[in-house]
Structure 1
């Protein structure tokens, strides 16, 4: 490993898009720092990366807590030096989708993971990136940011729209200081978050969805292009669109109080 190797910090790296992104970037010689809540899952991803000849550091952390973010940054700098690439991939959705009865605590939790954590991590890496005149921040938003509905729910759509706005702010503000701010907007994707839906899609329904590796390939492309080029926003959507009308109706009544449904 040469001292010129880049370092990528990836959230939500224990499964799905984060896992696949870590494996792809590591194959390109990028050192990957894996963040998530479950140490065992992160260790398994790190072992897989190392088994393919890559370099990985697995750190369990709650990215909504500023003290955890500070700890991760200190450990990463001590092991690898400054962070060159931040991939904000961690996501969370609420169990109640309809704002009529969405608990305030669920609203706050979804915004904390999908929006506030992105802000905190970005704020933490900006001094190094701007100081060196180079850096890349990738955030996985969602098509729910531009077409919100009951599949993702009110809180998820609002958070993903907010983070898209924040990334556009970073692009407009810091591009001439060498920062690339990139937003990825996946359509319906076969990731573990689907298991928490009001009606989890069946296995056969997931076959034509975006797969985690598809989004990872888009992130890899954006990250490995020359620094002079920024893919500011990328939509990664299924070619075939399935009928979700039944899912939307079920989602409308998830968490409704007794007697609310006519």
Structure 2
């Protein structure tokens, strides 16, 4: 697989110097769930611009297509609907990826939801089931689709976009969101340990507050000033691209990224 080269020309008073930057991700096949908006969209843009063959999935095709058209990457970003809570939808999405661009080299599990009534007193059982189906079981189903070929090739990366709510059970996240993200933490860690001798790396990413559409479901409305002060999707994308560019011998099991102003205890 040929690496993609970038040329950077610097000028000094004496001599212009050309520096060739080679992207190790060129040609890699990337599948991203929850890729139409928020963190998933930022990661899609970052990996596409690094030369990857990116396929983004989500429940609504309109934002997927709009994002794909907005990314000026060398390789066009492909789109296909997916509802990670529905097993057949997951199967159909990954069949599309394999048929269009090949087996997945990098999976990004970014599909996730939260609810407005987040306390035990206000949450109903149907809310619990829906969040767990998407945030936890959905991630499991997607990993199950890509892991066997990765193990056979002895190469592959899985990025789970979790939350600091997967490290700390915080009231802001709520009961079921925290539970789903703690489960995602255990899922990623257990799989990473299982496949550590087979060339596959799994990373759990724990973002703090990020300016994404999920903020609109908070019990208390979030001001624009607050949205501007917290992490942006491109911040997470930069981190994920860096992790994916590491050599196969290097594994980042988990990493926390938060706004500078957000408390970490």
Both proteins in one fold, TM over 0.5: yes
1:45-73: CA deviations, max 9, x gaps? 11122x33233110012111111111111
Instruction: Flag structure 2 segments of 5+ consecutive residues without an equivalent.
Output: 4-25
Deviation at 1:81, TM superposition (A): 1.0
1:7 aligned partner: 29
Partner of 1:170: 191
In the TM superposition, structure 1's runs of 4+ consecutive aligned residues that sit over 4 Å from their partners are 1-4
Deviates more, 1:149-158 or 1:111-120: 149-158
Residue 163 of structure 2, aligned match among 133, 142, 162: 142
Aligned position for 1:26:
48
Q: State the Cα distance separating 1:229 from its structure 2 match.
A: 1.1
Which whole-Å CA distance do the structure 1 matches of 2:177 and 2:33 have between them?
A: 17
Distance 2:108 2:87 in 1: 17
Once superposed, what is the RMSD of the aligned Cα atoms? Answer: 1.5
What is the TM-score with the length of structure 1 in the denominator? Answer: 0.88
**Which shifted more, 67-76 or 159-168?**
67-76
Matched, 1:94 2:115: yes
Distance in 2 of aligned mates of 1:203 and 1:56 = 30
Q: How does 1:1-262 map to 2 (within 5 A)?
A: 5-49=27-71, 51-241=72-262
Q: CA deviation at 1:146?
A: 1.9
Separation of aligned partners in 1, 2:137 and 2:226 = 32
Contact 2:167 2:206 in 1 (8 A): no
Contact 2:51/2:73 (8 A) holds in 1: no
TM-score (normalised: structure 2): 0.87
